[in-house]
Amino acid sequence: MAAKGVGEYFHFLKEAVSTKWEDLAFFLNFKTTAVRNIKRRNDDDMSRCKDMLEIWEERDGDKATMDVLMKALSKAGLGKVRDDLKKEISRNDTGAKRTSRKRPSDNQPPPKAKKMRGSKRQQNGDGAGPSQSGAAKVDVTQYFDKVISSVSYKWDDLARKLGFERGEIKAIENTPALRDPNQRCREMLERWERSKAGGATLRILKQALIDIDERKTAESL
Q: What is the block-wise mean pLDDT of the chain (221 residues), using blocks of 10 residues?
A: 68 90 95 92 88 90 93 94 90 62 52 49 43 59 92 88 87 86 92 84 91 89 89
Residue 94 confidence (pLDDT): 67
Residue 66 confidence (pLDDT): 93
In a shared domain, residues 95 and 143 = no
Residue 94: in which H helix or E strand, if any?
helix 79-102
What is the extent of the structural domain holding 11? 6-101
Tell which of 46, 74, 101 closes a domain: 101
In a shared domain, residues 13 and 95 = yes
CATH code, domain with 183: 1.10.533.10
For residue 166, being part of any structural domain is answered with yes
For residue 125, being part of any structural domain is answered with no
In a shared domain, residues 97 and 21 = yes
Q: What confidence tens digit (pLDDT) does each residue in 165-205 have?
A: 888 888 898 888 888 889 999 999 999 988 877 788 999 99
For residue 15, being part of any structural domain is answered with yes
Count Cβ atoms within 10 A of the Cβ of residue 85 and give its class: 0-12 exposed, 13-18 middle, 19 or more buried. Answer: buried
In a shared domain, residues 36 and 96 = yes
For residue 175, being part of any structural domain is answered with yes
For residue 173, being part of any structural domain is answered with yes
Tell which of 101, 127, 145 closes a domain: 101
In a shared domain, residues 76 and 157 = no
Tell which of 81, 101, 121 closes a domain: 101
Residue 23 confidence (pLDDT): 95
Cα separation, 178 vs 184, whole angstroms: 6
How many Å is the maximal CA-CA distance in the chain? 75
In a shared domain, residues 11 and 95 = yes
What's at 71, amino acid-wise? K
Residue 90 confidence (pLDDT): 86
For residue 124, being part of any structural domain is answered with no
Count Cβ atoms within 10 A of the Cβ of residue 202 and give its class: 0-12 exposed, 13-18 middle, 19 or more buried. Answer: middle
Residue 170 confidence (pLDDT): 85
Residue 119 confidence (pLDDT): 44
In a shared domain, residues 19 and 79 = yes
Residue 160 confidence (pLDDT): 86
In total, how many domains does the chain have? 2
For residue 47, being part of any structural domain is answered with yes
Residue 95 confidence (pLDDT): 57
For residue 30, being part of any structural domain is answered with yes
